[in-house]
Amino acid sequence: MATDARPEERSGSRSRPGRPGLTREPFPAATLTADHDQAQPLAEPVTMRLDGRVALVTGAGSPDGIGYATARRLADLGARVAIVSTTRRIHERAGELGVTGFVADLTDESEVGALADAVTEQLGDVEVLVNNAGLASRASPEVLRPVAQLSYEEWRGEIDRNLTTAFLCSRAFISGMAERGWGRIVNLAATAGPVNALPTEAAYAAAKAGVVGLTRALAMEMIADGVTVNAVAPGTIYTAASTWSEIKQGLGTPVGRPGTPDEVAAAIAFLCSPAASYITGQMLVVDGGNSVREAQFR
252-256 long-range contacts (CB < 8 A, ≥24 apart) are 252/290, 252/296, 253/287, 253/288, 253/289, 253/290, 254/288, 254/289, 254/290, 254/293, 255/288, 255/289, 256/288
Three-state secondary-structure class, residue 252: coil
3-state secondary structure of 276: helix
| Rounded average pLDDT over 168-196 | 98
User: Residue 240 has what pLDDT?
Assistant: 80
- Res. 42: pLDDT tops 50: yes
CA distance 195 to 285: 9
Q: How far is CA 262 from CA 39, 70, 130, 140, 165, in A?
A: 39, 7, 15, 22, 23
CA distance 113 to 96: 26
The DSSP 8-state label assigned to residue 33 in this structure reads -
User: Above 90 in pLDDT, residue 71?
Assistant: yes
pLDDT band at 141 (very low <50, low <70, confident <90, very high): low
DSSP string of 35-94?
S-SPBPPP--------TT-EEEEES--STTSHHHHHHHHHHHTT-EEEEEESSTTHHHHH
Render pLDDT for 242-260 as a digit per residue (tens, 0 to 9): 888 888 999 999 999 999 9
**The one catalytic residue among 68, 152, 204, 278:** 204
Residues paired with 231 in a beta bridge: 187, 283
Confidence (pTM): 0.85
**Greater pLDDT, 198 or 103:** 103
pLDDT at 43 (0 to 100): 61
In words, the CATH class of domain 54-286 is alpha beta
Residues with Cβ within 8 Å of residue 52, at least 6 apart in sequence: 78, 79, 80
- The per-residue pLDDT for 144 is 85
**pLDDT at site 63:** 96
- pLDDT for the residue 198: 86
Q: What's the rounded Cα separation, in Å, for the pair 73 and 53?
A: 13
**pLDDT at residue 108 is higher than 50:** yes
How is the chain split into domains, by residue range? 54-286
* Among candidate residues 221, 172, 182, the one with its CA nearest the CA of residue 23: 221
Distance of CA 203 to the CA centre of its chain: 19
> Region 263-273: what's the mean pLDDT?
98
Q: What is the 3-state secondary structure (H, E, C) of 138-165?
A: CCCCCCCCCHHHCCHHHHHHHHHHHHHH
152 carries an active-site annotation: no
Dist CA 136 CA 180 (whole Å): 34
Average pLDDT over all residues of the chain? 87
Residue with the larger pLDDT of the pair 16 and 199: 199
Tens-digit pLDDT profile for residues 183-214? 999 999 999 999 999 899 999 999 999 999 99
In the chain, what's the furthest Cα-to-Cα distance?
A: 68
